[in-house]
Amino acid sequence: MGKESIGQKWDAKHYDAQIGYVSKLGTGLIELLNPQAGERIIDLGCGTGDLAEQIRKRGVFCTGMDYSPEMIEAAQEKYPEGSFRVANAEEFRLQDGEEEYDAVFSNAALHWMKHPEGVIRSVGHALRPGGRFVAEFGGSGNVCAIVNALTRELAARGIDWQSRFPWYFPSVGQYTPLLEQGGFEVRYAELYDRPTPLGSGENGLNNWLQAFAGPLLKGTEPEMQQKIVENCASALRPTLYRNGEWVADYRRLRIVAVKK
């Protein structure tokens, strides 16, 4: 996860219990990565390590990296055989003597990193020539209805949400030139809608906001937070609540790029 997530607290237990769909939905991206036995792969923004472990089980040496020490601690505890490290994706470099990697993989993490040039530079340094960067994250228009409802509530209370907006949701047209300028050849880029059931029935939206909207709600009194969440739920119910479940309007940017 990125360092710019001001006020964002990562609670590994809540993440696994309530937001476990993040890793489950990332499984398809592993197929696009197509890891081969013997390869060295970084999982950037690995959270509590579920996808890094799936990659490792394919006979890969996988290093899971995350900016949150709590997430890395939880990952190492869950998967003692795995290799995990706290790292800031926007500026990490390989350690002394560490071999370059064959691929960098990242699921649902890059939208927390507001300095994409720094991330791309770090990834470029970590890869061997011909190494691949395979990533999926929130793209332009991601969670648009939720963002609109939330920012409307914040603006109505005079809260300057722009300065604390924690996410980076680029379009294909914005992100692929950064990859090219960073020394990558873009082989694949797609922006697609992926409506995402939030689970937990009526509590799904509340859990999502609790897990992810901390930076936007930071500094507001608990009663005000509750009112904001209630008002968001009322505004969003007609479009995002279906058959007893909240379905978030996720839109993903998926890329495959190769280091020249």
108 binds ligand BEZ (CB under 6 A): yes
Nearer to ligand BEZ, 5 or 122 (CB): 5
Distance CA 231, CA 224 (A): 10
138 binds ligand BEZ (CB under 6 A): yes
Looking at residue 202, the DSSP 8-state letter turns out to be: G
Q: How far is the CB of 145 from ligand BEZ (least distance, A)?
A: 12
Footprint on residues 190-219 left by ligand BEZ (CB under 6 A): 212
Q: How far is the CB of 192 from ligand BEZ (least distance, A)?
A: 12
The residue range among 137-145, 175-183, 214-222, 226-234 that interacts with ligand BEZ, by the rule CB under 6 A, is 137-145
Half-sphere exposure of 144 (CA within 13 A, CB side): 11
167 binds ligand BEZ (CB under 6 A): yes
Q: In this structure, is the dihedral angle defined by the CA atoms of residues 155, 156, 159 and 165, taken in order, positive or negative? A: negative
Q: Where are the beta strands (DSSP E) in 76-123?
A: 83-86, 101-107
Type of residue numbered 30: I
111 binds ligand BEZ (CB under 6 A): yes
Distance CA 114, CA 68 (A): 16
250 binds ligand BEZ (CB under 6 A): yes
Q: How far is the CB of 38 from ligand BEZ (least distance, A)?
A: 31
Selected from 8, 18, 142, 206, the binder of ligand BEZ by CB under 6 A is 142
Radius of gyration of the chain (CA): 18
Q: How far is the CB of 196 from ligand BEZ (least distance, A)?
A: 8
Q: How far is CA 126 from CA 40, 141, 248, 255, in A?
A: 11, 30, 34, 17
No. of H helices and E strands in the chain?
Answer: 11, 10
Nearer to ligand BEZ, 44 or 60 (CB): 44
Nearer to ligand BEZ, 107 or 176 (CB): 107
Distance CA 41, CA 100 (A): 9
Residues that bind ligand BEZ (CB under 6 A): 108, 111, 138, 142-143, 167, 212, 250
